[in-house]
Amino acid sequence: MDIVVCIKQVPDPDYFSQIVLDPVTKAIRREGIPLIMNPVDRNAIEAALQLQERFSGKVTVLTMGPPQSREALEEGLAMGAEEAVLLCDRAFAGADAFATAYTLAAAIKEFCPFNLVLCGSETVDSGTKMVGPMLAEFLDIPYATNVRAMNFVTEGICLAETAIENGCMKVELGLPALITVNKAINEPRIPTVLGIMQVASKKLLMYGANGLGVPPEKLGLAGSPTRVASLFDFKQKRRLETLRGDPQHVASKAVAKLREWHAV
Ligand SMILES: Cc1cc2nc3c(=O)[nH]c(=O)nc-3n(C[C@H](O)[C@H](O)[C@H](O)COP(=O)(O)OP(=O)(O)OC[C@H]3O[C@@H](n4cnc5c(N)ncnc54)[C@H](O)[C@@H]3O)c2cc1C
């Protein structure tokens, strides 16, 4: 089973309070903010590696991003992926979720034969949750999102448990397919020292816009149907009220207050 895992490098959430948005370009100013692999994308890699251990085949990690996104790919290789593909070109800059999915789909069609594409359910920075479903549409394959468990009854059929509000839904997918996974699906492995040493001998391929054979107007900002219209700070206000009295009385008063404030 050949599996492509889409991963994205994102600012480390521990440093979110230091993130500044450029008022002119409306993009994140990344200077000084450490970057990590989007956390749930590590679960997607883990899921791919477990499937590869069962069915054999190849796991490829793929990202579209600036040159430093190579580090996220190297982490994927250290975890056990066999090959990595970096889509890096100024022409990709400013892509919204639609243009991102379009570009990833073009690269997968061109360079990555697959039975299964895995993504994270959402990123911690933009978090539109749209890249997976849009990518599946561009690849013209079935998909399931927010999957917390996968059961491959055969190599070609997957029963996916998708988490929905207050429950779950079981979906049967015939491969080729795309699945976006959430954090409940597994515990990602930590790269071993041997895994880290093996990265140097693995293939990390880099492609620009020319290699994709798609019109430039479909890429990056030019290919993005959405634009950031405005930016503003969201100030969170805290209401503070101290309740005194015997615990039972205070508890029911607290519940009443929370209801009044529409907090529960
Ligand atoms: C109008 C607009 C302008 C933007 N301009 C910029 C900009 O200038 N600079 C900038 O950095 N961001 C910009 N963004 C954000 C950027 O477009 C999104 O980060 C990107 O489209 C991915 O969407 P997401 O993070 O919401 O992914 P989600 O849909 O939440 O991600 C789900 C999964 O898709 C996969 N995935 C997502 N992105 C990638 C990727 N790049 N490569 C491989 N797999 C991926 C991962 O598996 C991820 O877990 C802009 C967004 C909009 C709407």
> Distance, CA 99 to ligand 1 centroid (Å)?
9
Contact 100 CB / ligand 1 (< 6 Å): yes
Whole-model pTM: value is 0.88
Q: Is residue 250 domain-resident?
A: no
Top mutation candidate among 100, 108, 212, 219 for ligand 1, by most atoms within 8 Å of CB:
100
246 inside domain? no
Q: Does residue 252 belong to any structural domain of this protein?
A: no
21 lies in some domain: yes
Q: Give the residue, out of 68, 90, 128, with the most ligand 1 atoms within 8 A of its beta carbon, to mutate for a pocket test.
A: 128
Tokens found for residue 215? 């019109």
Establish whether residue 127 lines the binding site of ligand 1, counting it when its CB lies within 6 angstroms of any ligand atom: yes
b/e burial code for range 23-62 (CB count within 10 A of at least 16 → b): eeeeeeeeeebebbbbebbbbbbbbbbbbbeebebbbbbb
Task: Report pLDDT digits (tens) over 5-35.
Answer: 999 999 999 988 888 878 777 777 777 889 9
Domain assignment of residue 108, yes or no: yes
CATH number, position 92: 3.40.50.620
Instruction: Note the pLDDT tens digit of each residue in 225-244.
Output: 998 887 776 777 777 888 99
Q: What pLDDT sits at residue 21?
A: 79
Residue 210 lies in a domain: yes
Report how many domains make up the chain. 1
Question: What range does the domain containing 113 cover?
Answer: 3-218
- Rounded Cα gap, residues 263 and 260, in angstroms: 8
Cβ atoms of residues 24 and 56 within 8 Å = no
Class of residue 106 by CB neighbours under 10 A (exposed 0-12, middle 13-18, buried 19+)? buried
pLDDT of residue 171: 96
Nearest CA to ligand 1 atom 20: 97
Report if residue 224 sits inside a domain.
no
Is 20 a domain residue? Answer: yes
